Amino acid sequence: MKKLFLILLFPGFLFAQQVLDKIVAVVDNEIILQSELDFRVNMEAVQKNIKQPDDNLRRAILNAIIEEKLLYAQAELDSIKVTDDQVKQQLDYQINYFTQQYGSRERIEQIYGMPIEKLKRSLQDDIRKNLMAQLLQQKKFGQLESSRKEVEDFFEMFKDSLGVVPQKFQISHIFLNPKTGERVKKKARNFAQTLLDSIKKGGDFAELAKKQSDDPGSAAQGGDLGFVKRGVFFSEFEAAAFALAPNQISGIIESPVGFHIIQLLERRGDAIHARHILIKIKADDEADLAAIEFLTEIRDSIVRKLNTFSYYAKKYSDDKENAKFGGELGTFESSQLDKPLLDIIFKLKEGEISFPKRLEIDRNVYGYHIIKLDRRIPEHRADIETDYADIKRLADMFKKQKQYAAWIKELKEKIFWEVRL
C-alpha cells in the first residue's frame, strides 16, 4: 500500500508497560504518554544525528503523534475497515524491517524482551490503527492530481529552487524467474503427489507436514492453520478448502506460492479449520542455466532485428507489472539505482542491451534479466518539458500537503484533543 503521508509504527505496548507514566496529550479516546513521546524524539534524534533534542523537535513530534491519533479517530467515524490479512501483511513487513535494522530475529527478541510471535500480537493494535489512518488518507487524497496549469504554476513559483537535475537513465528489462520453468514446477508437483499418495495409504498428515511442508508458519503445528474466514487465503487455495467436507483431503492445489495438500478439519459457520502441506517451487542450477540461455537467445533475436525488445518483454517477461508496457521500468537518477545495476547501465549506449545478469528481489526471490538503456538524459537545469513527470510529482505532493494541512485543521476543530504538558 502506498503511503501518502508517513505514519511511523512504534509499539505502544512498550510505553504501556510503564505504570507510572505521564499523559502528555489526549485525542478523542486515545492517550499519548510521556514515554511514547520520549521514544519518538529519541528515534528522530538518532535518525537525524541530533545529539541533544530541543523543545522545537519535541513539539513537532508531539504534533505529529496528535495528527496520527486524529486520523485514526476520523477513520473510526468513517467506519474504515481493515482486514486481518492486511494487518498480517503489515506485521510481516514490520518484522522484516526490524530484522534488517537489527540484523536478526534473535536480536529483535533480545531488544524487545519477547518472542517474535508475542511481539506481533503486541503490535497488532497499533498496526491496525495506522492502516485505518492510511486507508482514510488514500480515500481522501489518493486520486488528487495537479492539472497542467497547476504544474506550470508550481514550476514558475519554485523553478529557481529546483536547481540542477542529475543525470538520468530511462531503462527497460526482460526478467525471467527460473521457478516458472515447467521442469521445476513438475518436480515440485510430483513431490507433492508422492506425499498425497503416502497420506492416502495411511501416512500421518501432521508428521509429513512437520517434516516436508515449506510453510514455516504452520509446519511446526503439523500444518494446522486454525479457524479462518474467507478472504485470508489465496483464491485457489480458498476455493479448494471451502469445497471440502470435514476430514476430506484435497488433490494437489496450485497457488502463487506452490502446491498444497489440504485437509478440512472442521467447519463453523463461514469459518473453516484446515491444515495443509505446502511444497514450494524451488529453482536449481539447471533451471538457472536455462533462464540465462533463453535470455541470451532473446537478446540475440533483438540485436538481429527479428523483433523488438517490447515484443519479447510482453511475451516472455515474468515481471508482469511492466511486461504489459514492453518492459519499461521508468527513468531513474544514479542515486536511485543499486551499484550492480548502475555499473551495467553506465557501460551501455542508448539502445544497447546488456547480457543476462542475476537480479535479487529479496532473500527468497531472484531471477535473471537483460536491460536496455532506452535513453540517457544528461545533467541539466530543471525544464518543464524534459522533466514534466518529476515536476508534476512535486506539484501533486505540494497540492496534497496544502489540502492535508487544511484537513488536519478541520479535524482539530471537530475532534477533541488536548495537550497536557
pLDDT digits (tens, 9 = 90+) for 303-324: 999 999 999 999 999 998 899 9
Same-domain check for residues 269 and 194:
yes
pLDDT at 291: 92
Same-domain check for residues 244 and 319:
no
Query: Is residue 292 domain-resident?
Result: yes
Same-domain check for residues 305 and 274:
no
pLDDT at 84: 85
CATH number at residue 289: 3.10.50.40
- Give me 291's grid cell: 533462464
Q: How confident is the model at residue 364 (pLDDT cuts 50, 70, 90)?
A: low
Inter-CA distances, 68 with 22, 28, 44, 72, 142, Å: 19, 12, 16, 6, 18
Least confident among 4-8, 19-23, 254-258: 4-8
Same-domain check for residues 291 and 270:
no
Query: Is residue 137 domain-resident?
Result: yes
Please say if the pLDDT value at position 112 is more than 80.
Answer: no
Q: Which of 229, 260, 279 is the last residue of a domain?
A: 279
- Give me 44's grid cell: 528522530
Residue percentage of the chain with pLDDT more than 70: 94
pLDDT at 269: 83
Please say if the pLDDT value at position 59 is more than 70.
Answer: yes
Residue percentage of the chain with pLDDT more than 90: 59
pLDDT at 8: 41
pLDDT digits (tens, 9 = 90+) for 380-416: 999 999 899 889 999 999 999 999 999 999 999 999 9
Same-domain check for residues 169 and 296:
yes
Query: Is residue 153 domain-resident?
Result: no
Which of 7-11, 297-301, 382-386 is modeled with the greatest confidence? 297-301
How far apart (Å, rounded) are the C-alpha atoms in residues 64 and 56?
12
Q: 205 or 18, which is more confident? A: 205
pLDDT at 46: 72
* Cβ atoms within 10 Å, residue 256: 8
Please say if the pLDDT value at position 16 is more than 60.
Answer: no
Same-domain check for residues 79 and 201:
no
- Cβ proximity of 173 and 332 under 8 Å: no
Q: How confident is the model at residue 358 (pLDDT cuts 50, 70, 90)?
A: very high
How far apart (Å, rounded) are the C-alpha atoms in residues 210 and 345?
46
Q: How confident is the model at residue 421 (pLDDT cuts 50, 70, 90)?
A: confident
Q: What is the dihedral of CA 285, 290, 296, 301, to 10 degrees?
A: 180
pLDDT digits (tens, 9 = 90+) for 125-163: 888 998 999 999 999 998 999 999 999 999 999 998 988
Domain count, the chain: 3
pLDDT at 193: 96
Same-domain check for residues 130 and 24:
yes
Please say if the pLDDT value at position 65 is more than 80.
Answer: yes
Least confident among 4-18, 130-144, 210-224, 297-311: 4-18
Query: Is residue 65 domain-resident?
Result: yes
How far apart (Å, rounded) are the C-alpha atoms in residues 117 and 106?
12
Same-domain check for residues 229 and 207:
yes
The distance of Cα 391 from the centroid of its chain, to the nearest Å, equals 26
Q: How confident is the model at residue 10 (pLDDT cuts 50, 70, 90)?
A: very low
* Domain span holding position 186: 182-279
Q: How confident is the model at residue 11 (pLDDT cuts 50, 70, 90)?
A: very low
Residues 75-88, mean pLDDT to the nearest whole number: 90
How far apart (Å, rounded) are the C-alpha atoms in residues 324 and 209?
38
Query: Is residue 370 domain-resident?
Result: yes
- Give me 400's grid cell: 496534497
Same-domain check for residues 58 and 189:
no
Query: Is residue 4 domain-resident?
Result: no
CA gyration radius, the chain: 26
Same-domain check for residues 27 and 121:
yes
pLDDT at 51: 82
Query: Is residue 66 domain-resident?
Result: yes
Same-domain check for residues 367 and 221:
no
Q: How confident is the model at residue 118 (pLDDT cuts 50, 70, 90)?
A: confident
Q: Which of 279, 301, 319 is the last residue of a domain?
A: 279
Query: Is residue 315 domain-resident?
Result: yes
Same-domain check for residues 174 and 320:
yes
Instruction: Write down the mean pLDDT value for the chain.
Output: 88
Q: Report helix, strand or coil for 270.
A: coil
Query: Looking at this protein, which amino acid is placed at residue 332?
Result: F
